[in-house]
Amino acid sequence: MKTIIVNGIVVTMDSQGHIYDRGYVAFEDGKILETGPMEAGMITEDAHILDARGGIVMPGMVNLHSHLGMVSFRGLGDDCKDRLRVFLLPMEKKAMDAELTYLSTRYAVAEMLLGGVTTVVDMYYFEEEAARAMDEMGIRGIAGETIMEDPTCDSPDPKQALAYARTLMEHYKDHPRIRGCAAPHGTNTCSEETLKAAWTLDREFGAPFTLHTAEMDYEMTYFRDQYHMTPVQFLDSIGVLDSSTLAAHCIHMTDEDIQLFALKGAKAAHCIGANSKAAKGVSPVSAMLAKGIAVGLGTDGPASGNTLDIITQMKLCADFHKNETRDRSAFPAKSIVELATIKGAGALGMDGITGSIEAGKQADLVLLETESASMFPVYDPYSALVYSASPQNVDTVFVDGVCLVKNKKLVKADLAKLRSELAEKMNRTEFGKIKKF
C-alpha cells in the first residue's frame, strides 16, 4: 500500500536544495513517488497516512566507516594512551568469534536505526555474520571483511581473509540492500601484494576499496622513512588509488595528498568524533571539499567514538571545523547535512538510489520530532538538525519503504532482548571477567 508522510518539514537534499514546509512524501513498493508542499499536488487517494506533526523529514543518514562488531569494547580503556595494544587487540584474540560478531552487529544496527542511520559501511571480522545481522535488521549496508598480514581472530593469513571476502561478496552480489567488500585494514598493516589483491577483488565485484589511511603518526613516519612518500602517495604508486577508494580518517593529509585525491577521484570518510577523542588531530576536510573531493561522515567503531549515530557527528563536525578555521561562518549547517546524506551516499556511488528525497529513489527516510524542548523553534531545519537535534529526536525510520523504527522503538526487533542476548554471550567470554568499577 502507498504511504504518505504529511505535515512535515521536508528537507529533500536534492540538487536544488528544496525544503517544503508542511510538505509530504509519498512512496510505495520501496520507492519514493513524489514530494512537495501539501497544497500543491497532495495525493488524496487511499493510502496509509503518517502525520509528521511538524517534524523534520529527511533522507536516511549514511555512516561511511564503522566496526560494528566492537560493541563489546565500548567504554573499555577509554582514557588509556595505548588502549589498542593494552585492551583491544588482546581481547579480540581472546574473545571475538562469529557469534559475538553477529550479536554485536545486531545491537549496533539497532542503535544506528534508532539514530536515523539507514546505510552503513562496516569493517571487521566474521563479516558473513555481520552481513546476516544487517540483513535481518533491515538496514542498507556494506560488510567489509578486514584483511591484514598478521593473523586475526577469523583468518590466519591474508590469503584466507581474501578467500573469505570473496565468498561473502559472491553470497550478497545480488542482494537489494547488502553487499560485501574486501577491506584492507590499513596502508601499513597490509603488504603491497595484499593491497593490490584486495583492490582487484573489489574491482571485480564493483565494491568500494576501503581502508584506514593517513590516520596514525607512526603510519606517516613509516612511509616517510621506508618509501620517502606519504601513505596516499604510496597507494597511488601501486595503482590502488582511484574512484573506488574510500579512505577512512585522512587526518594527516598533505596538500599533495589532497591534489592526488582530487585527481584520482578518491573519497574520504570523516570520523571527527573518534579522531578528536583519540587526540589524533582534525582532518583537513575544508581543503578536500574545496577541491571537490567526495567526503562523508563516519562514526568509527563503538570502541573509538562510543556512539554510532551521525547526528552526533554533525554537531562535532561543525564545532571542530569552525574552531579549526577560526571562522564562525565556515561549514554552514546545510553543508554538514549534505555530508551526512547525499554526499555520504555519493562517496559510495549510491547517490542514485539514496541520500535525498526524490522521485524514483529508494524510500530511506527519517522523521525527527520537533516536540521535544530542544527542538523549538525551528527557523532553519538544517540548523536544527546540526545544532539542536540528538538521536533521541528520531521518531520514525524507513529503509526501502519498510518501517524499522516507529514512535522511537524498533519495529522488527526488541532492543532489550538484543541487549540481554549480547550480554549473555559477553559473560561467556573474557569480557565477563573484566572488572567494571
Q: pTM of the entire structure?
A: 0.96
316 and 398 in a common domain: no
Residues in CB range of 18: below 8 A, 6 or more apart: 10, 12
Whether residue 186 is found in the same domain as residue 288:
yes
Same domain, residue pair 325 and 185:
yes
- Kindly state whether residues 8 and 89 are assigned to the same domain: no
Locate 59 and state its grid cell. Answer: 533522507
Handedness of CA 233, 236, 238, 243 (dihedral sign): positive
| Domain-embedded: residue 153 | yes
Q: Are 62 and 45 in contact (CB under 8 A)?
A: no
Domain end, chosen from 300, 320, 347, is at 347
Does 150 share its domain with 245? yes
pLDDT of 43 reads: 58
- CATH code at 385? 2.30.40.10
Domain count, the chain: 2
Q: What is the DSSP letter of 191?
A: -
Are 99 and 153 found together in one domain?
yes
Q: Do 241 and 383 lie in a common domain?
A: no
Structural domain contains residue 422? no
Predicted confidence (pLDDT) per residue in 314-329, tens digit: 999 999 988 888 888 8
* Contact status, residue 71 vs residue 130, Cβ threshold 8 Å: no
Based on the fold, state whether residues 47 and 116 are members of the same structural domain: no
For the chain, residues with pLDDT lower than 70 are: 40-45
| Same domain assignment for residues 24 and 152 | no
pLDDT at 416: 98
Tell me: do 65 and 43 sit in the same domain: no
Is the residue at 370 inside a domain?
yes
Is residue 255 domain-shared with residue 399, that is, in the same domain?
no
What's the pLDDT score for residue 44? 61
Q: Are residues 299 and 334 in the same domain?
A: yes
Is there a domain that residue 127 lies in? yes
In the chain the first and final C-alpha atoms are separated, in Å, by 52
141, 122 Cβ separation under 8 angstroms: yes
Closest residue by Cα to residue 259 from 297, 279, 287: 287
The answer as to whether 418 is a domain residue is no
Partners of 144 in the β-ladder: 123, 181
Quote the pLDDT of residue 433.
85
Range of the domain at 44: 3-59+356-406
